[in-house]
Chains A and B, each alone.
Chain A
Amino acid sequence: MVTGGVTKFAKAHPAMDFRLMVKRAYDYALKGIPNLTADRIDGTRISYFSDHFARQLKAASMVQDYLGMNPKGSVRLEWGGATGGECFQAAYEAVASGRMDICLGAGFETMSRVATWKGNEFIALASDTNFDFPLGGFYTGYYALMVVRHIYEYLRLGRFRGVTDEREAQRLAIAEGSRIMSQVSVKNHLNALHNPYAQYPKRLTVEDVLKSEMISYPLTREQICTMSDGAAVVVLCTEERAKEFTDRPVRVLGVGCGTDTMRLADRPFGKVPLMPHEKPKDYEELRYPGVHSFRAGRAAGIEAYRMAGITNPNRELDFIELHDAYASSEIQTYEDLGLCKYGEGYGFVERGDPFLKGIDYGFPTPKAGAIPVNPSGGLIACGHPVGATGLMQAVFAFWQLQGTIPKHFGDPTLQLAKPRRGAIHSHAGTGSSVTVSILERGFR
């Protein structure tokens, strides 16, 4: 990867349609690289999630011609919430296969074109329209179902296993889980205060998050990402070409993609696919994934780590930008990606591992800096213009590895000290598809 660009994500960008948003991100990416011109680009991969939001079929063709890319080759990518992550990997594959030397990956979404609850309806059409959608058609409801079970598996049957009154034990466990999810929300909103691209940067307390409007029990408004307008682009090329454009390239070290059933109700109750640092006895009692964990995320992680030669992600990665559409899914994803064992996600937050060092979050984070997760602010604070989101993560991770966060953010706070490797994680449809890509600093 040699460059990238992002528009500021916003509730609405009425003065820019999707073509102009992509153009802005594209111009930003190419600015300052005089020998990277449109004619050098061999082709494009363009992503957006929903034709319903776009109200324009083949919108990717309109991006292609707006950027002046015709008659080069192009493919439109759609993979639910993981659309941007899939686009990144498609651009990678175009280059890795030898088909292109230089590929542009571009993604966008214009969600402001319908009212919020209509937008929720469009998103819920990415659930089975025979069996799931007619019950309420609400993604937050689906993720709430998943986290209620996650809390049961790991808090009720974990630190609250001694409580004999079943209903009381479950209430205590949900209260504890909600408190810890709120810490994730505080982290991501607070990190975003230093990211000028973020849609909702703010300082919150755990109390603020808990007291915000209940959307689907136990998930509150501040634990959920919002709808956004935005675009992001990346430029990937061969190692030989990379030297022409930057002395700070970033290597794509591994890619992985996993899937699971569209319907939550069909998820199996089997065994955990293990990562190299885990043992079968770690999970003897666990029926997996059920509705509590994302097998697709685990499969994507295993594939990407294997390709990258990573055997212990917690030690071998310096940061992760992951798909926190819900504070709950951030915690679930720590476990899927092997940052901690299944069941340890809540403790992982309480110990402070995913927090940044040097930021006061308003509660103790003793191990802050161990492996920062969503240093940019994640989806919860940056916004989630679906087709752009996975590419936004790639751009933020790219800047981290380059050490150029201070330049692009105009603020050095979020720049990690010489990170070597980072992962980006893009997630769709209640965990029905997930991509993980590993990026590594490609210079000394």
Chain B
Amino acid sequence: MTTRPPVFSKFRDAQAELERSGAVLFRDAEGIESLIIRFPYSINYIHSYAEDSPFFLGLAEGRLRGSKCRKPKCGFVYATPRSHCMVCGAPTEWVDLPLKGRVHSWTTCHFGSEAFLKETPYNLAMVEFDGVGSLLLVRLKECIESDLYIGMPVEARFDPNPKYSITDVWFVPAR
């Protein structure tokens, strides 16, 4: 006995059928039938934070750690850490960032990557700190789209159960 997968002429319907049975025939406007199968792929990376590790360990201790260029003439301070200075190439040292800053820019995401769709809507903000030359991208919580503006004072919160991810820190409107 021969079997053929079900035929669909709308791509969306074909996609839905794939989720159910793993194989469909898609018939296009010219009548050409293409066999489409589901092809799963997943992987767990062995992901080292390497030289950025102290930043993520710091989050677990309720600290925001930036980088300061060791060269006295440069001394550039980065909110998002890097182990060598982008301006002069010298090594950097770890410095504690202020836990309060201001919104440099913001958005509210009503969609996102598949992995984050269930968290929508969520706010993203670039935070600027006094005395720091670059910004930090974070989630902004406890506020909604209509509350947000550039210049808004914000402060850091830390996950008491750290996952060792940038999401261990988020900001909220300053009290």
Q: What is A's interface to B at a CB cutoff of 8 Å?
A: 11-12, 14-15, 55, 112, 115, 117-118, 120-121, 124, 129-132, 134-138, 140-141, 144-146, 148-149, 152, 156, 166-167, 170, 213-218, 261, 263-269, 291
Contact = CB atoms under 8 A, between A and B. Distances in A.
Main secondary structure of the interface of B (DSSP, over half): mixed
A261 B111 CA distance: 25
A214 B30 CA distance: 35
A269 B133 CA distance: 8
Interface of B: 11, 14-15, 26, 28, 30, 32, 34, 36, 39, 41, 47, 49, 52, 78-80, 82, 86, 104-117, 119, 122, 124-126, 133-139, 145, 149-151, 165-167
Nearest to B24: A14
B150 A291 contact: no
The listed residue with most A CB atoms (<10 A of its CB), out of B111, B117, B119, B122, is B111
Contacts of A152: 105, 150
B80 A134 contact: no
Given A14-B14, A149-B126, 13 more contacts: A12-B11, A117-B113, A135-B124, A136-B119, A137-B113, A141-B109, A141-B124, A145-B126, A166-B149, A265-B126, A266-B86, A291-B105, A291-B126
A266 B80 contact: yes
A135 B110 contact: no
A115 B16 CA distance: 10
Nearest to A169: B149
A140 B111 contact: yes
Given A131-B166, A170-B149, A265-B79, A149 B107 contact: no
Nearest to A130: B52
A265 B135 contact: yes
A124 B124 CA distance: 14
B114 A117 contact: yes
Nearest to B14: A14
- Of A112, A138, A291, chain B has the most CB atoms within 10 Å of the CB of A138
Contacts of A263: 80, 137
Contacts of B116: 136-138
A178 B14 CA distance: 36
A131 B47 CA distance: 13
B166 A15 contact: no
A216 B107 contact: yes
B105 A214 contact: no
B36 A216 contact: no
Contact of B167 (A135, A170, A213): A135
